[in-house]
């Protein structure tokens, strides 16, 4: 809390100092309200002592009428308070808006690449309105408590000064206890908000890359990564709840303990000459005025007060590159966003890179992929996308899949990767069910070590380039291996421009093609002997696409590519054509002679690229 307190409090005092006339008007109307508080208990005491207990019913009714008249006078006072409140709240909101605009424009001029964007919009709208409402509520309840306390304490002193000894000490003790807990409560509030934002950022990152997570068999470490954020938020919530309980304790000491002391001391006070009316009036002050005002004050300070400090800290804080990046990266803020999006260090980090030690138990030339009478439909009543498909891809073979848009090419790669389960038939890789179930001849193979799928929308996270490239490596890869993979797929120029493998990258600052190059480098560096490229080069130019595909052709393993250009089919060992009714597989020359759909695709591509 030191940082916001040091920045916000001086500005708050200057703001109030420039509006002394408004504060004076508020104080005047509030004094009128305190008069109502004073009369509420004093009139009850006089009605009892001078009226009903003395046998003067008319006098008692007259004093009760005075108390009722005080309630009527409080109405115009309330209207005056709200008119004066506008003179504080609206300039407060306008000043926040000016400050946010100034800081956002300053940051944009200093570094256009890190303009605040949506974060500035959130500050100008949601956060400034939140601060305005919180400030207005705090002014109302603080003013009400102060002048209610003045009226109640003045009334107690007028009835019997010794009553103050029963009320003032516990009242001050409760307020001091709450004041001592206010800063820790605000700190816990900030920690809870940061933990909540971190969890939101991690959930957003996982949702965006869910297909990659499942395809690479990274469900367990990803679940642990998210679970750590869930536990952190739960701890922050429990800590905040414990400190919030101090508010209830403070209310008990300051508001309810005086009532108990008054009841316990009543016999002794009566013996000292304090009248029954004075005791009833004191009880009226405590239960009808002081206790409700105190409850409202502590509730507001514990919620709106801490929220206002947190929001003001963000609005008045720096709007530099760190803040701007957080606004683009997602719901997280500042350093919390960076920590949320940074992948955890692999448990095996620090061990020497050894591809032979991490390669799955399959031949170096790759696994055999088999589809046996596979049928798949998106839903029980939907038309099958694939029907009774039989296909065998030999170890080390390069198969290209082509066909009209929406015909089932991505569905096929999803089935091979284990993302989808066929409605009928079976998909096997190296003789084992693709979803990693144990085969009759041995244990299950870790999917992350067996196959890698790169979809059209490449997944790149905030972190270093090395983090992104080694994401699928069980062991830490040296820079020599990184450089070899980067050169092979054509990533070397981008790596140099970014500042090397240790450079931190921002996914939003990368083009779609640059993201695809990073994902291709990740797949090339992984130990998986089966590579599935689902239009993974569609945002690259033909030369870059050819270089990337050649890198996987010379890399040991089996490669299955969903083609974006027909030139990919010319480089393949075989081509699989999907046309919606049947699948035809063969070489380019064979398909030109046998498949009308393939001839049509080749003709259209050549027409579009002449």
- Same structural domain, 287 and 409: no
Residue 354 domain-assigned (yes or no): no
Q: Examine the pLDDT at 166 and tell me if it is beyond 70.
A: yes
Domain of 540? Answer: 362-608
Give pLDDT, residue 194: 77
Q: Examine the pLDDT at 327 and tell me if it is beyond 60.
A: no
Report which of residues 96 and 385 the model is more confident about: 385
Give pLDDT, residue 195: 85
Q: What is the mean pLDDT of residues 357-383?
A: 73
Looking at the chain, the whole-number percentage of residues with pLDDT higher than 90 is: 12
- Same structural domain, 262 and 376: no
Q: Within 13 A of 313's CA, how many CA atoms are on the CB side? A: 19
Q: Examine the pLDDT at 337 and tell me if it is beyond 90.
A: no
- Same structural domain, 116 and 224: yes
- Same structural domain, 159 and 26: yes
Give the span between the Cα atoms of 19 and 213, in whole angstroms.
57
Residue 145 domain-assigned (yes or no): yes
- Same structural domain, 280 and 412: no
Last residue of a domain, one of 311, 341, 371: 341
Residue 349 domain-assigned (yes or no): no
Tokens 């016999």 — which residue?
Answer: 267
Q: Examine the pLDDT at 315 and tell me if it is beyond 80.
A: no
Looking at the chain, the whole-number percentage of residues with pLDDT higher than 70 is: 74
- Same structural domain, 310 and 416: no
Q: Examine the pLDDT at 269 and tell me if it is beyond 80.
A: yes
Q: Examine the pLDDT at 403 and tell me if it is beyond 80.
A: yes
Report which of residues 447 and 50 the model is more confident about: 50
pLDDT in tens, 101-143: 766 666 555 544 444 444 555 455 556 676 777 777 777 777 8
581 phi and psi, to 5 degrees? -110, -35
Residue 177 domain-assigned (yes or no): yes
- Same structural domain, 67 and 177: yes
Number of domains composing the chain: 2
The lowest-confidence range among 74-88, 369-383, 498-512 is 74-88
Q: Examine the pLDDT at 329 and tell me if it is beyond 60.
A: no
- What single-letter DSSP state applies at residue 442? B
Last residue of a domain, one of 341, 373, 404: 341
The set of long-range contacts for 298-302, using a CB threshold of 8 Å and a minimum separation of 24, is 298/178, 298/247, 298/250, 298/251, 298/254, 299/247, 300/137, 300/138, 300/141, 300/142, 301/138, 301/141, 301/178, 301/182, 302/178, 302/182, 302/185, 302/244, 302/247
Give the span between the Cα atoms of 322 and 592, in whole angstroms.
56
Give the span between the Cα atoms of 416 and 424, in whole angstroms.
14
**Whether the model pTM is above 0.75:** no
Report which of residues 352 and 540 the model is more confident about: 540
Give pLDDT, residue 97: 74
Residue 492 domain-assigned (yes or no): yes
Task: Kindly provide the b/e burial profile for residues 537-572, where b requires at least 16 CB atoms within 10 angstroms of the residue's own CB.
Answer: bbbbeeebbbbbbebbeebebbbbbbbbbbebbebb
Residue 273 domain-assigned (yes or no): yes
- Same structural domain, 409 and 497: yes
Q: Examine the pLDDT at 398 and tell me if it is beyond 70.
A: yes
Query: Is the CB of residue 305 less than 8 Å from the CB of residue 138?
Result: yes
Report which of residues 3 and 260 the model is more confident about: 260
Give pLDDT, residue 311: 66
Give pLDDT, residue 331: 31
- What single-letter DSSP state applies at residue 436? -
Q: Examine the pLDDT at 347 and tell me if it is beyond 80.
A: no
Q: Examine the pLDDT at 445 and tell me if it is beyond 70.
A: no
Residue 497 domain-assigned (yes or no): yes
Most confident option among 22-31, 389-398, 587-596: 389-398
The domain that contains 289 carries what CATH number?
Answer: 1.20.1560.10
Angle at 204 between CA 199 and CA 210, to 5 degrees: 120
Give pLDDT, residue 346: 35
Give pLDDT, residue 344: 37
| Neighbour tally for 17: CB within 10 Å | 9
Tokens 């009128």 — which residue?
Answer: 32
> Could you tell me whether strands 398-402 and 574-578 are parallel, antiparallel, or unpaired per DSSP bridges?
parallel
- Same structural domain, 379 and 318: no
Give pLDDT, residue 518: 92
Most confident option among 92-106, 271-285, 304-318, 445-459: 271-285
Give pLDDT, residue 112: 47
pLDDT band at 606 (very low <50, low <70, confident <90, very high): low
Q: Measuring CA to CA, which residue among 380, 391, 272, 343 is closest to residue 507?
A: 343
Q: Measuring CA to CA, which residue among 580, 579, 477 is closest to residue 524?
A: 477
pLDDT in tens, 196-248: 878 877 887 787 777 667 666 677 888 888 899 899 989 988 988 888 788 78
Q: Examine the pLDDT at 555 and tell me if it is beyond 50.
A: yes
Mean pLDDT rounded to a whole number for the chain: 77
Q: 504: alpha, beta or left, given left = phi > 0 and alpha = psi -120 to 50?
A: beta
Give pLDDT, residue 560: 92
- What single-letter DSSP state applies at residue 538? T
The lowest-confidence range among 208-217, 314-323, 382-391, 581-590 is 314-323
Q: Measuring CA to CA, which residue among 523, 516, 609 is closest to residue 566?
A: 609
Q: What is the mean pLDDT of residues 590-596?
A: 85
Give pLDDT, residue 9: 60
Give the span between the Cα atoms of 142 and 146, in whole angstroms.
6
Residues in the chain: 610
Give pLDDT, residue 520: 92
Judged on CB neighbours under 10 Å (0-12, 13-18, 19+), 10 is exposed
Give the span between the Cα atoms of 35 and 383, in whole angstroms.
79
Q: Examine the pLDDT at 609 and tell me if it is beyond 80.
A: no
Query: Is the CB of residue 368 less than 8 Å from the CB of residue 395?
Result: yes
Chain centre distance of CA 579: 43
- Same structural domain, 141 and 253: yes
Give pLDDT, residue 12: 64
The domain that contains 418 carries what CATH number?
Answer: 3.40.50.300
Residue 565 domain-assigned (yes or no): yes
List C-alpha distances in Å: 28 to 19, 41, 66, 127, 182. 14, 21, 21, 32, 29
- Same structural domain, 374 and 261: no
- Same structural domain, 460 and 576: yes
Give pLDDT, residue 490: 92
């Amino acid at each position: 809390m030191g940082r916001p307190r040091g920045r916000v409090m001086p500005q708050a005092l200057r703001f109030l100092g420039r509006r002394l006339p408004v504060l004076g008007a508020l104080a005047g109307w509030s004094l009128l309200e305190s008069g109502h508080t004073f009369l509420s208990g004093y009139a009850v005491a006089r009605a009892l002592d001078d009226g009903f207990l003395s046998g003067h019913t008319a006098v008692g009714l007259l004093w009760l009428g005075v108390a009722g008249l005080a309630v009527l006078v409080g109405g115009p006072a309330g209207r005056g308070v709200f008119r004066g409140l506008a003179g504080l709240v609206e300039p407060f909101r306008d000043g926040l808006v000016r400050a946010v605009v100034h800081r956002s424009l300053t940051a944009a001029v200093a570094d256009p690449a890190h303009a605040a964007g949506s974060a500035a919009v959130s500050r100008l709208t949601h956060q400034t309105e939140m601060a305005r409402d919180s400030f207005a509520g705090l002014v109302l309840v603080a003013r009400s408590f102060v002048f209610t306390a003045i009226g109640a304490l003045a009334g107690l002193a007028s009835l019997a000064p010794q009553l103050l000894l029963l009320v003032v000490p516990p009242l001050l003790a409760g307020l001091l206890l709450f004041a001592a807990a206010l800063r820790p409560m605000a700190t816990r509030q900030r920690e809870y908000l940061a933990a909540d934002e971190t969890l939101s950022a991690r959930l957003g990152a996982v949702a965006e890359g869910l297909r990659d997570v499942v395809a690479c068999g990274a469900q367990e470490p990803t679940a642990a990564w998210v679970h750590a954020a869930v536990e952190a938020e739960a701890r922050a919530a429990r800590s905040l709840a414990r400190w919030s309980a101090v508010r209830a304790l403070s209310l008990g000491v300051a508001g309810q303990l005086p009532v108990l002391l008054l009841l316990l001391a009543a016999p002794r006070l009566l013996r000292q000459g304090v009248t029954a009316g004075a005791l009833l009036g004191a009880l009226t002050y405590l239960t009808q005025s002081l206790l409700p005002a105190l409850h409202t004050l502590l509730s507001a300070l514990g919620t709106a007060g801490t929220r206002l400090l947190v929001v003001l800290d963000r609005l008045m804080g720096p709007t530099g590159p760190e803040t701007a990046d957080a606004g683009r990266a997602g719901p997280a803020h500042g350093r919390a966003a960076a920590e949320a999006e940074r992948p955890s260090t692999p448990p095996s980090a620090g061990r020497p890179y050894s591809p032979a030690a991490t390669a799955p138990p399959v031949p170096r030339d790759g696994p055999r992929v088999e589809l046996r009478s596979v049928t798949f439909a998106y839903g029980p009543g939907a038309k099958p996308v694939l029907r009774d498909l039989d296909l065998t891809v030999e170890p080390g073979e390069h198969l290209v899949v082509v066909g009209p848009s929406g015909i089932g090419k991505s569905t096929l790669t999803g089935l091979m990767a284990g993302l989808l389960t066929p409605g009928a038939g079976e998909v096997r890789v190296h003789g084992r069910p693709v979803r990693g179930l144990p085969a009759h001849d041995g244990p299950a193979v870790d999917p992350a070590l067996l196959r890698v799928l790169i979809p059209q929308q490449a997944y790149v996270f905030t972190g270093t380039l090395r983090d992104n490239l080694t994401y699928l490596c069980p062991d830490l890869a040296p820079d020599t291996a990184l450089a070899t993979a980067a050169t092979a797929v054509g990533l070397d120029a981008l790596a140099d421009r970014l500042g090397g493998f240790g450079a931190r990258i921002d996914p939003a600052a990368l083009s779609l093609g640059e993201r695809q190059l990073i994902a291709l480098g990740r797949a090339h560096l992984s130990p998986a002997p089966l590579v599935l490229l689902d239009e993974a080069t569609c945002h690259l130019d033909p030369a870059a696409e050819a270089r990337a595909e050649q890198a996987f052709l010379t890399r040991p393993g089996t490669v299955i590519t969903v083609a974006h250009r027909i030139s990919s089919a010319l480089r393949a060992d075989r081509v699989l054509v999907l046309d919606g009714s049947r699948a035809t597989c063969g070489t380019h020359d064979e398909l030109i002679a046998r498949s009308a759909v393939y001839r049509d695709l080749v003709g259209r591509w050549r027409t579009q690229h002449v």
